[in-house]
Amino acid sequence: MLSRLHLPPRAVLAIDGHGASGKTTLARRLAAEHGAACVVGTDDLAWHHSFFDWADLLIDAVLLPYRAGWPVSSRPPGWVRMGREGSIEVPAETELLIVEGTGAGRLEAAPYVDALIWVDVDLDVARERGLARDVASGVNGTRAEAEKFWDEWMAEEIPFLNRHRPWERADLIVG
């Protein structure tokens, strides 16, 4: 799949789509296929921060240093505030930086992205996948709590994606 994108030797690939569309799975598969890739998830940038108000964190803390050839080591504000250990790391020798997550193809990041993949999914299918994932992992508690979170997420996700319309700029659409 990567060969269809015509990426430069040191590239940024954004993988965007609705929640539970399969972005993370695709990113991991492409990173393994490439061999010198690193995956940064927008969920990590946004952790205990904001669903979608994290463009500055992506650009300033990840994309600009990577584009300059520097290693990335970033502790997003939510990590610091909540005492989360570790940091987002991208070694300087990384040849392909894959940014995956809803909003990875946002307009503000477009100048720093070499290719964009949109992962298309039926919203009802995504909802059931997301709820099953979240309940199984315990990330959002009970089914009722997961449904409440999902509804809050979608109330922000749909208008956000409709403003940014990443599928219209996608180099590749998969589903």
Q: What share of the chain is helix, strand, coil (3-state, %, to 5)?
A: 50, 20, 35
| 46/57 Cα distance (integer angstroms) | 9
Report the distance separating Cα 20 and Cα 129, nearest Å. 6
Per-10-residue mean pLDDT of the chain, 175 residues long, equals 91 98 97 96 96 97 98 97 97 98 98 98 94 88 92 96 98 97
CA pair distance 79, 83, nearest whole angstrom: 6
* Predicted local confidence at residue 141, as pLDDT: 82
pLDDT of res. 140: 80
pLDDT value at residue 138? 85
pLDDT value at position 31? Answer: 97
Q: What element of type H or E holds 30?
A: helix 23-34
pLDDT of the residue at 85: 97
